[in-house]
Amino acid sequence: MTDYAEEQRNELEAIESIYPDSFTVLSEVPTSFTITVTSDAGENDETVEVTLQFTYVEKYPDEVPLWEIYSQENLEDSDAEGILTLLRQQAEENLGMVMIFTLVTAVQDKLNELVDEIKNRREEEKRRKEEAAEEAEKVLFQGTVVTIENFLSWKAKFELEMAELRRKRQKEEEQQQAGKIKLTGKKLFETDHNLDTSDIQFLEDSGNSVEVDESLFQDLEELDLDEDDPDFDPLALGSDED
């Protein structure tokens, strides 16, 4: 009959001697402990670290132990899920044998791989950013690619703007032209018949009445005046008495 308690006790002593700086007992019943696993340093001395918590079940190692990620550093969630999957695979392959050292070693190798992957991810991210910056600069230099659709849209907008500009200029020219034209007195009377009575209306409004002696103009009607005669002199009309 297998003495599970004895096997667990012997493995625990061996684990403590292998990982003296990273091994910590959390409880004795059930036996639970943590082991901190750190990757080798990368090119820029970056590391990935994970602390694993193991708990013995009654029939370990004939049954797999319980495990979980107690803490992590520089480890993405997707990578943490990968480590848990790796532990499950290794535990199933080593069922019936004490396996904590094997599980920890597998995680150690995985973390070393992750350091290289992190380096590659950073380089890939840097490359994508540089390509995006180059593409943006190229688009800025080349401008917008002309298509039939955007050309017709631009043309319609341009024609509307030009029509509005011509309308404004025509209106300004008309206003300037109107300001330059000055009507003579004759033109004013021809264009505005209200001016015929404007002076009389002004006097009436001011309280002065105007009386016209029509007899003064009767003799003028009998005269034969030829205003079209170039020798006509209105001042000579009163010289007949001489």
- Between the alpha carbon of residue 209 and those of residues 67, 195, 200, 201, the distances in Å are 123, 18, 8, 10
Mean pLDDT comparison of 16-30, 168-182, 208-222, highest-scoring range: 16-30
Token representation of residue 41: 């340093």
CATH of the domain at 58: 3.10.110.10
Mean pLDDT comparison of 85-99, 150-164, 178-192, highest-scoring range: 85-99
23: β partners: 35
pLDDT > 70 fraction of the chain, expressed in percent and rounded: 69
Q: Which of 93, 41, 89 is nearest to 67 (CA)?
A: 89
Residue at 56 is within a domain: yes
User: What is d(CA 58, CA 46) in angstroms, rounded to the nearest whole number?
Assistant: 39
The answer, yes or no, to whether the previous bond of 234 is cis (omega within 30 of 0) is no
Answer yes or no: is pLDDT of 20 > 70. Answer: yes
Residue at 172 is within a domain: no
Residue pLDDT, tens place only, 86-96:
999 999 999 99
Q: Which of 212, 219, 210 is nearest to 237 (CA)?
A: 219
Of residues 160 and 128, which shows the higher confidence score?
Answer: 160
CA angle (126, 143, 140) in 5-degree steps: 30
pLDDT at res. 221:
52
Cα-Cα end-to-end distance for the chain: 176
Range of the domain at 66: 4-120
Residue at 148 is within a domain: no
Residue at 38 is within a domain: yes
Residue at 131 is within a domain: no
69: β partners: 52
Confidence of residue 152 (pLDDT cuts 50, 70, 90): confident
Q: How many other C-beta atoms lie within 10 A of the C-beta of residue 56?
A: 23
Residue at 53 is within a domain: yes
Q: What are phi and psi of 3, to 5 degrees?
A: -95, 90
| Total number of domains constituting the chain | 1
User: What is d(CA 242, CA 225) in angstroms, rounded to the nearest whole number?
Assistant: 20
Q: What pTM was computed for the model? A: 0.52
Instruction: Give all strands of the β-sheet with 49-55 in edge-to-edge order.
Output: 23-27, 32-38, 49-55, 66-73
Confidence of residue 33 (pLDDT cuts 50, 70, 90): very high
Residue at 33 is within a domain: yes
Is residue 37 classed as helix, strand or coil in its secondary structure? Answer: strand
Confidence of residue 223 (pLDDT cuts 50, 70, 90): low
Residue pLDDT, tens place only, 67-121:
999 999 888 888 899 999 999 999 999 999 999 999 999 999 999 988 888 777 7
Residue at 212 is within a domain: no
